[in-house]
Amino acid sequence: MVDFGRLVTAMVTPFDEAGQIDWDQTAKLIDYLVENQKSDTLVISGTTGESPTLSTEEKLLLFDFAVKHAAGRCKIIAGTGTNSTEASIKMTKEAEKLGVDGALLVVPYYNKPNQEGMFRHFEAIATSTTLPIMLYNVPSRTVASLSTQTILRLAEIHNIVAVKECAPLEQVAQIAAAAPAGFRVYSGEDAATLPTLAVGAHGIVSVASHIAGTEMREMIEAYLSGEVQKAAKLHQKLLPLFKGLFEAPHPVPNPVAVKFALNERGLSVGSVRLPLVPATEEEQIFIRSLLA
């Protein structure tokens, strides 16, 4: 089984001034996330990577580039899930050919399948590939939400090995308690990293790790080694950043805030593609305060 580690970063996609993928900056960002921010794994073309506005060709180019540039220094998970089962199967197969280490499959959005429809969707994709699969349950974006029971059914499929869970803490605890050995739960909310570890999660698929990965790793390792008070102090210190990247000073679509923060830190990742728009002046002032 592939070990995705404890700290997984959902990587932004750097764009140049024309709004095209900036390959030089993509290379620099991968180096930075692995070497400076201590990411175990990178998710390429997830929500934070602006997957809705990347073409299929761009996604495959990104998967190929990330695998080659990371060169084994971290694992690469390809965001291949869509709300079309057939399209998801096709992209997952192509990603597998490129040598990625796993696939992230989001709950189908907009078409609102029921639990049986979601089970069959993920089952069909998983059985079409040998890649390890991480499910992605994010009800705030997809409306439809995987139930605990459906996730546990899917966990019986041999290559469905993890879930990125953004449902309430109770569901994280229920999955962690009843899932087969080796199936891992990852929090999908930075602010819930420590609470979810406490109820059985394995790690975090993070946005804030672009900025505070080393501190997040320290927090995780402190908790795992029994230094609970140290972990709590680090969580308290990081909480304004965790929350602020999504509420700057009112809810800001991801990855607007983290891209601005990275640019402020000297990593030229560019802006966002429409329909997202750059941070306003007020939002920029707030984000800078988080970095101070």
Catalytic residues: 136, 164
* pLDDT tens, residue by residue, 218-229: 999 999 999 999
* pLDDT tens, residue by residue, 110-130: 999 999 999 999 999 999 999
Q: What pLDDT band is residue 292 in, cutting at 50, 70 and 90?
A: confident
Residue 251: the pLDDT is: 77
DSSP-assigned states of every residue in the chain: -----SEEEE----B-TTSSB-HHHHHHHHHIIIIIS--SEEEESSTTTTGGGS-HHHHHHHHHHHHHHHTTSSEEEEE---S-HHHHHHHHHHHHHTT-SEEEEEPPPSS---HHHHHHHHHHHHTT--S-EEEEE-HHHHS----HHHHHHHTTSTTEEEEEE-S-HHHHHHHHHHSPTT-EEEES-GGGHHHHHHTT--EEEESTHHHHHHHHHHHHHHHHTT-HHHHHHHHHHHHHHHHHTTBSSSB--TTHHHHHHHHHTT-------TTS-PPPHHHHHHHHHHH-
Q: What pLDDT band is residue 47 in, cutting at 50, 70 and 90?
A: very high
* pLDDT tens, residue by residue, 277-287: 999 999 999 99
Q: What phi, psi does 76 have (nearest 5°)?
A: -120, 120
Q: Helix 281-291 vs helix 256-264: angle between axes, to the nearest 10 degrees?
A: 60
Rg (CA), the chain: 18
Provide the CA 187 distance to its chain's centre, in angstroms.
9
* pLDDT tens, residue by residue, 145-183: 999 999 999 999 999 999 999 999 999 999 999 999 999
Mean pLDDT of 79-98: 98
* pLDDT tens, residue by residue, 179-216: 999 999 999 999 999 999 999 999 999 999 999 999 99
Kindly tell me the burial class for residue 86, based on how many C-beta atoms sit within 10 Å of its own C-beta (0-12, 13-18, 19 or more).
Answer: exposed
- What is the C-alpha separation between 115 and 248, in angstroms, rounded? 35
* pLDDT tens, residue by residue, 236-247: 999 999 999 988
